[in-house]
Structure 1
Amino acid sequence: MNRERPALTDLTAFAAIASHRSFRQAADELGVSASALSHTMKALEERVGVRLLHRTTRSVAPTEAGAALLERLRPILTDLDDALGAVDGFRTGLRGTLRINAGESAARILMRKAVPRFLAEHPDMHVDLVTDGRLVDIVAEGFDAGVRLGESVPQDMVGVRFGGPARFVAIVSPRYLKKRPAPRSPSDLLQHACIRYRMQSGKIYRWELEKRGRSVAVDVQGPVTLDRDDLMVDAATDGLGIAFVPELAAEQSLASGKVVAVLEEWCPRFPGLMLYYPGHRHVPPALRAFVDVLKEVEPEVRAGRQSKKASPDR
């Protein structure tokens, strides 16, 4: 049936009244008088041919038809606000907070180039970068984007790769090697003190090694179990044993000679990090701008690291 479509302002007024369940509060939000809203609602109900609100002297509540309309109308108005916000961002510049959840190693990469460049280009923005070993539900926990290994990213997300290939490295202090010969194969690890890693699930990580297509998972033993890469590097530096950590976490200690790499032929590189965000909704202007910056700095990140390829969290 053909029917003249209600004005957007009328639908917005209805949504405000039904959400607040108050003409006065809706009027305050919209900057109009309560009597004007009352006339608007009367005209809207006449146009759609059905009562949308129950009114008494003390309360306002949507009818069954009104509740159904409100449920469908809310996401439409939200999408419209997002679209207008995206356009407004080109006029006024970006403002607000961009929330990103990332593992420790990924956060280090972002802080080297992408975040400083983004803030320099958009000085009214604030970046809330949360480091977390868990693979969180970024939508449920209020993040705009997450950063993890590509293989860990949910399939319904849009992803942007950055940072180049990644790998884990087995590291040990020269002091430790004065007492024990370096391992030459994964099986040799069973004769060594190793620093174990506890995953967020509570399980102990089995070292995953690979050489020429042959994969081996080793359940190492040792004097200490930790749940942070930086602590594992410290433990290896102090001579407590061999640690298996993201290369980025260990690169400074490797460069200074505090630790050395062993079993390097068993530590191949693999596709690295991915920034990801929901693919089913409008991309906020700030996130779109951050993705653009990430793509801009990608060549600089790769050139700066060269052989020191970064690696993600487990």
Structure 2
Amino acid sequence: MRRSGFTELEAVLAVARRGSFRAAARELGMSTTAISAAVAGLEARLQARLFNRTTRSVALTEAGQRYVQRIAPALAEIHGAAEEIHSQPEAPAGTLRINAPSETVQMIFEPLLLEFLRRHPQMRLDIVTEPRLVDIVADGFDAGIRLAESVPQDMVALPISADLRLVVVGSPAYFAEHGRPRTPDDLAQHQSIRLRLSHGGIYRWELERRGQSVLADPPGRVVLNEMPAIRAAACAGAGLAFLSEWHIADDLAAGRLVRVLEDWCPPFPGLRLYYPGRRHLPPGLRALVALIHELRPGEPRRAGAGR
């Protein structure tokens, strides 16, 4: 018999029902010696005799009767709760809560999250988007989505995108008037559109080439706190911007934005779905993890891209 964690209590109840240690042992699939030891151990901790024993019979003491009357309903309730969990349908159902930055949801919604909803019609997604990194456990989320470098070390993390790249871009009109920077040092002579981070600081552009790293801090003509607004300002010619290549793919293809300093913009590890622990995952999260393993990380597709 598979033990439930309440062996001693189950042993007492079985002996009380059967009036025999041997019969209780048969019912629970245990040896008579193990049943006797379980009852004796509980009696020792309670410092009370639960059964009067003779060579011919076993009967509850008065204390034993009171004890059995109290624990029997409680143990039945516990077993009922366990049966309810085990009897849940295999198809995942319910709500999966995910915390993520808004721009990342755009990247993975069609290739991953929409496919998840198609496969599991009884599941709902509750996605809260915000730039700050939150404690997903304390805030009641099943999982989070962040860049690999931002995932807390005590979390399980799964890749859900290929490597990403930030690039320095500007509009053709801006370059026609101000020229193009050839090195990171040239950025000091250009106007830029800067990103204000959630904690209030201004993001410095992280550039790297052949092991040489530069934190560029070009003059900020405009400071914004949302990537779509920075993209729009760059397309309008307000200055240079440092944006995700994925988010501006259409603008690059149409010539609305042009890359510069490309050799200073290497790729970096992409997005990760992360969650606490590997055991006893909620069914919905377990299904999403299985889908991620099936699809494997690849180049994230833009919404509307051909299949």
TM-score, reference length from structure 1: 0.69
- For the residues of structure 1 that align with 2:143 and 2:96, how far apart are their CA atoms? 8
Indicate which of 288, 299, 303 corresponds to 1:302.
Answer: 299
Shift >6 Å, 4+ stretches: 45-48, 80-84
1:6 aligns with 2:18: no
Q: Percent identity?
A: 45
Q: Does 1:222 align with 2:225?
A: no
Deviation at 1:104, TM superposition (A): 2.6
Partner of 1:115 in structure 2?
A: 113
2:187 maps to which residue?
189
Q: 1:258 to 1:110 in 2, by over 3 A?
A: same
Match of 2:269 among 256, 260, 271: 271
- Per the alignment, residue 247 of structure 2 pairs with 249
> After superposition, where does 1:31-50 map in structure 2 within 5 Å?
49=46
Select 1:135's aligned residue among 133, 136, 156: 133
Letter of the 1:205 counterpart: Y
Contact 1:197–1:204 (8 Å) recurs in 2: yes
- Give structure 1 stretches of 5+ with no counterpart: 11-44, 51-72, 306-314
- 1:97 maps to what in 2? 95
Q: Following TM superposition, by how much is the alpha carbon of 1:132 offset from its aligned partner in structure 2, in angstroms?
A: 1.4
Distance 1:127 1:121 in 2: 13
CA 1:6 to 1:303, structure 2 compared with 1: closer, same or farther past 3 Å? same
Aligned residues: 240
Counterpart amino acid of residue 107 in structure 2? I
Aligned counterparts of 1:197 and 1:81: Cα–Cα separation in 2? 51
In 1, the alpha carbon distance for the partners of 2:83 and 2:149 equals 31
Write out aligned runs for 1:174-213 (5 A). 174-213=172-211
Q: Quick one: distance in 2 between partners of 1:171 and 1:83?
A: 59
Supply the distance in 2 between the matched residues of 1:117 and 1:175 (Cα, whole angstroms): 40
Q: CA deviation at 1:259?
A: 0.8
- In the TM superposition, what is the alpha-carbon distance from 1:162 to its structure 2 partner? 2.2
Alpha-carbon offset, residue 7 of structure 1: 4.7
Cα RMSD for the two superposed structures: 3.1
8 Å contact from structure 1 (residues 196, 224) kept in 2:
yes
Structure-2 change in CA distance of 1:122 and 1:176 (3 Å): same
Larger radius of gyration: 2
How far did residue 179 of structure 1 move? 0.3
Q: Distance in 2 between matches of 1:157 and 1:280?
A: 9
Unaligned runs of 5+ in 2: 1-5, 14-41, 48-73, 303-307
The residue type equivalent to 2:119 in the other structure is E
TM-score when normalising by structure 2:
0.70
SS of match in other structure, 2:156: strand
Q: Which residue of 2 aligns with 1:27?
A: none
Matches within 5 A, 1:13-28: none
| CA distance in structure 2 between the partners assigned to 1:201 and 1:193 by the alignment | 23
Q: Secondary structure at the match of 2:296?
A: helix
Q: Distance in 1 between matches of 2:82 and 2:165?
A: 39
1:6, 1:47 within 8 Å by CA — same for their partners in 2? no
Change (3 A) 1:83 1:102: farther
How many Å apart are 1:296 and its aligned residue?
A: 2.4
Are residues 47 and 114 of structure 1, via their aligned partners in 2, closer, same or farther at CA, if it must alter by over 3 Å?
farther
1:159 maps to: 157
Aligned to 2:3: none
8 Å CA contact 2:162–2:300 kept in 1: the answer is no
Letter in 2 for 1:174: P
Further displaced range: 185-194 or 278-287: 278-287
Name the structure 2 match of 1:59.
Answer: none
Q: CA deviation at 1:275?
A: 0.7
* Partner Cα separation in structure 2 for residue 183 and residue 212 of structure 1: 19
1-structure distance, mates of 2:279, 2:90:
23
In the aligned structure 2, how far is the partner of 1:220 from the partner of 1:83?
Answer: 63
Write the letter of the residue equivalent to 1:130.
Answer: V
Structure 2: distance between partners of 1:81 and 1:106: 38
The Cα shift of 1:92 comes to: 4.6
CA distance in 2, matches of 1:130, 1:248: 22
Distance in 2, Cα, partners of 1:214 & 1:127: 42
Letter in 2 for 1:147: I
Cα 1:82–1:246 shift into 2, 3 Å: farther
Deviations 1:152-200 (A, max 9, x none): 1111101111211111111111111110111111111111110011111
1:172–1:242 Cα contact (<8 Å) kept: yes
